[in-house]
């Protein structure tokens, strides 16, 4: 039932555009085959034989034709018509060169649930399919009238016991109904006709609506797709894994982007599944980010000088100048910021597109060579400066919004700084403002890249997704997804919005792509930090008095602490276990990026989500004057 076939496939319904555009996108992305979705074919100007010719030209196989609906258990004349429809589809499949068809469990109100009748229907159609060299795949729709569980579908396929009748397993239909993955162990691999995969955010809603609007790629949702695939591989199934995605966001995204992410997601989930059952894999394991080592800003001339002055008021000290480039290193405690003012090269090109901005981050990893190898296997491109290959002090990967992610082995960090930079005789910095490390980075991306960048971090570095948040900006809703390493040492949030007047949208309008807008630094004494920054004259965000009045009513904080927090502009949150979280924000540099200082207590693991709306409202109040040197 499952001969060795090419590994990655995608249903045409997953992509935007005409059938021709979808096929081209799938081929360019590297898929070996497609599922032809019936509506795509019906709406195409190409005849079936022309579609087959195009598939041949593109090097794609038509691995499945789908869906064939309301077949089994039909009474009287409806049964005859179902068989006639099936025979017509078999003729069509012959023109397309497809040898497998998806028969989804019936939703027809007249369908009968008598098991013997259903078995007889499949046995009879199986005989017809065998004469045509076609495999029937039976799929249990999560909302099927009588069959909505793959265990029931398998019981029917077992009872049919026909060489041309098998089961199709779909991760969404099974996982959305919380069917245990280990139930797949009862299925024999040679009877699995096809496997379809989709992830989804964890939502409590009607199954059909959830399926039709919110499916996404493996690695972009909260379903245990890796465990699902692991159990399928355990059966001995060695056929293709195929994506079937229904998603409103994908229907408006570029087909190329979704197709490229789709191939990456399948390679990622296959690798993760094999690791769960100790099967050999084709790529190195994810290398967790040990920490963020530095954040690099691009600026030149007067902007570079102003940025340096801004860093100084925030507690940073100039501690190094690059030996050969117009690059400076600023440090505070365990945090490094870099200003790149080179007139040529990557930072200069990024600056031309985005203005003064965060152009790169550097991350410590245990084995950068393994990260590079895994990135290559996932189709993530390494950066190589044009005309100067091999001249980078650190290898780098392409990151969000065209930025770079530099990779640094943990044991080479200090040597790298000493080799690349002259030490300067900077002073001790702002006393009391020391930040211990980078707590998290926040990126703003266009809506069509929101899920893409989540997949990037999860597939490459194994970051774990926290619960998604909807943040209320005064001008609209912002979607936010936090990702972090297992130990919480590296955190990044991805933010996107459809609302054009939000702070996030205005950040995107400034340049030609997404990027990092927000750097959060962790301190052990938020009050000492706040006082030191005030004494230095740092431009900090004003928090309204109403906030602290409300805070006094919400939490068991004494009046003196509330008064001190109000005076210093400190925000506070507390989780259900009583763990606390303090936040302090700078004003934004030229309305572009800003800093946050945080203090975590007793294992607080969130990001102060209840305070986000207050922070955004405070930032939005500083909008009237659009002068080049204004701050938010």
- Does 473 belong to an annotated binding site? no
Domains of the chain: 8-276 (3.20.20.150), 289-423 (3.10.180.10), 437-620 (3.10.180.10)
- For residue 628, pLDDT beyond 50: no
Q: Are 489 and 479 in contact (CB under 8 A)?
A: no
In this predicted structure, what is the pLDDT of residue 428?
Answer: 52
- pLDDT on residue 224: 97
How high is the pLDDT of residue 630?
Answer: 40
Which of these, 618, 597, 592, 623, lies nearest to 307 by C-alpha position?
592
Quick one: pLDDT band at residue 39, thresholds 50, 70, 90? Answer: very high
440 marked as part of a ligand binding site: yes
pLDDT at 426: 65
Distance of CA 328 to the CA centre of its chain: 33
Write a three-state SS string for 298-364.
ECCHHHHHHHHHHHHHCCCEEEEEECCCCEEEEEECCEEEEEECCCCCHHHHHHHHHCCEEEEEEEE
Report the predicted TM-score, pTM, of the whole model to 2 decimal places.
0.91
Structure tokens at 505: 């949208």
User: Looking at residue 627, what is its pLDDT?
Assistant: 40
Average pLDDT over residues 185-189: 97
Check the annotation: does 124 bind a ligand. Answer: no
The answer to whether the beta carbons of residues 589 and 515 sit under 8 Å apart is no
Q: Is the peptide bond before 67 cis (omega within 30 degrees of 0)?
A: yes
Ligand-binding annotation for 536, yes or no, is no
pLDDT value of residue 5? 46
CA 206/CA 229 separation, integer angstroms? 25
Q: What kind and span of H or E run contains 311?
A: helix 301-313
Only one residue has tokens 């018509």, namely 81
Q: Is residue 213 annotated as involved in ligand binding? A: no
Residue with tokens 């540099």: 589
Q: Per mean pLDDT, which range of 66-70, 474-478, 562-566 is the poorest?
A: 474-478
Instruction: State residue 506's pLDDT score.
Output: 80
pLDDT digits (tens, 9 = 90+) for 531-553: 999 999 999 999 998 999 999 88
583 is in an annotated binding site: no
Counting residues of the chain whose pLDDT is more than 70, the rounded percentage is 95
Give pLDDT tens digits for 261-279. 999 999 999 999 999 999 9
Contacts of 40 (CB under 8 A, 6+ apart): 12, 13, 19, 22
Q: Would the annotation count 146 as a binding residue?
A: no
234-257 residue pLDDT tens: 999 999 999 999 998 888 888 999
Predicted local distance difference test score (pLDDT) of residue 626: 40
Is a pLDDT exceeding 50 seen at residue 19? yes
- Cα 445 from Cα 452, distance rounded (Å): 10
Which pLDDT band holds residue 391 (cuts at 50, 70, 90)?
low
For range 27-40, the mean pLDDT: 97
Confidence check: pLDDT of 564 > 70: yes
CA distance 607 to 520: 10
Other Cβ atoms within 10 Å of 188 Cβ, number? 17
Structure tokens belonging to residue 96: 């397309």
- List for the chain the helix, strand, coil content (%; round to 5): 40, 25, 35
């Amino acid at each position: 039932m499952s001969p060795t076939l090419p590994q990655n496939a995608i249903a045409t319904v997953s992509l935007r555009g005409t059938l021709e555009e979808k096929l081209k996108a799938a081929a360019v992305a590297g898929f070996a085959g497609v599922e032809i979705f019936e509506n795509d074919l019906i709406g195409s100007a190409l005849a079936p034989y022309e579609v087959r010719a195009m598939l041949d030209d593109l090097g794609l196989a038509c691995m499945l034709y789908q869906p064939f609906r309301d077949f089994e258990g039909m009474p009287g004349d409806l049964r005859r018509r179902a068989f006639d429809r099936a025979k017509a589809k078999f003729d069509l499949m012959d023109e397309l060169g497809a040898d497998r068809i998806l028969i989804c469990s019936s939703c027809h109100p007249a369908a009968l649930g008598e098991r013997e009748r259903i078995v007889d229907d499949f046995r009879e159609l199986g005989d017809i399919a065998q004469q045509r060299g076609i495999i029937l795949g039976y799929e249990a729709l999560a909302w099927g009238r009588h069959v909505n569980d793959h265990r029931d579908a398998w019981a029917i396929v077992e009872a049919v016991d026909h060489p041309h009748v098998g089961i199709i397993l779909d991760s969404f239909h099974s996982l959305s109904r919380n069917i245990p993955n280990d139930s797949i162990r009862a299925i024999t691999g040679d009877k699995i006709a096809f496997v379809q995969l989709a992830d989804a955010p964890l939502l409590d809603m009607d199954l059909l609506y959830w399926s039709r609007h919110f499916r996404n790629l493996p690695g972009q949702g909260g379903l245990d797709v890796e465990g699902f695939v692991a159990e399928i591989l355990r059966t001995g199934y060695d056929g293709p894994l195929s994506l079937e995605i229904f998603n409103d966001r994908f229907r408006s995204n570029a087909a190329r982007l979704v197709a490229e992410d789709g191939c990456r997601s399948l390679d990622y989930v296959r690798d993760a599944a094999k690791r769960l059952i100790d099967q050999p894999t084709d790529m190195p394991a994810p290398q967790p980010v040990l920490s963020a080592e530095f954040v690099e800003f691009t600026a030149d001339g007067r902007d570079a000088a102003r940025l340096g002055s801004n860093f100084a008021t925030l507690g940073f000290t100039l501690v190094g100048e690059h030996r050969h480039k117009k690059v400076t290193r600023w440090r505070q405690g365990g945090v490094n910021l870099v200003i790149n003012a080179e007139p040529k090269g990557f930072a200069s090109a990024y600056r031309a597109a985005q203005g003064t901005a965060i152009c790169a981050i550097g991350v410590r990893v245990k084995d950068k060579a393994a990260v590079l190898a895994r990135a290559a296997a996932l189709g993530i491109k390494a950066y190589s400066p044009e005309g100067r290959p091999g001249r980078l002090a650190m290898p780098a990967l392409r990151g969000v919004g065209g930025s770079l992610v530099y990779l640094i082995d943990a044991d080479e960090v200090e040597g790298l700084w000493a080799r690349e930079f002259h030490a300067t005789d900077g002073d001790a910095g702002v006393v009391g403002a020391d930040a211990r490390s980078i707590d998290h980075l926040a990126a703003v991306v266009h809506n069509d890249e929101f899920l893409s960048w989540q997949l990037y971090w999860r597939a490459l570095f194994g970051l774990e997704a926290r619960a998604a948040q909807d943040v209320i900006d005064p001008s609209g809703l912002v979607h936010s997804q936090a990702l972090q390493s297992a130990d919480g040492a590296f955190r990044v949030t991805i933010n996107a919005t459809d609302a054009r007047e939000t702070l996030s949208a205005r950040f995107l309008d400034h340049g030609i792509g997404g990027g990092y807008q927000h750097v959060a630094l962790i301190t052990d004494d938020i009050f000492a930090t706040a006082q030191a920054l005030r004494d230095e004259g740092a431009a900090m965000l004003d928090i309204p008095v109403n906030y602290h009045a409300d805070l006094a009513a919400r939490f068991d904080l004494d009046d003196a602490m509330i008064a001190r927090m109000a005076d210093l502009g400190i925000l506070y949150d507390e989780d259900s276990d009583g763990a606390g979280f303090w936040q302090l924000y700078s004003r934004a540099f030229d309305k572009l990026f800003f800093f946050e200082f945080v203090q975590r207590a007793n294992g607080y693991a969130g990001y102060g989500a209840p305070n986000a709306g207050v922070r955004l409202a405070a930032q939005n109040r500083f909008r009237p004057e659009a002068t080049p040197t204004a701050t938010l």
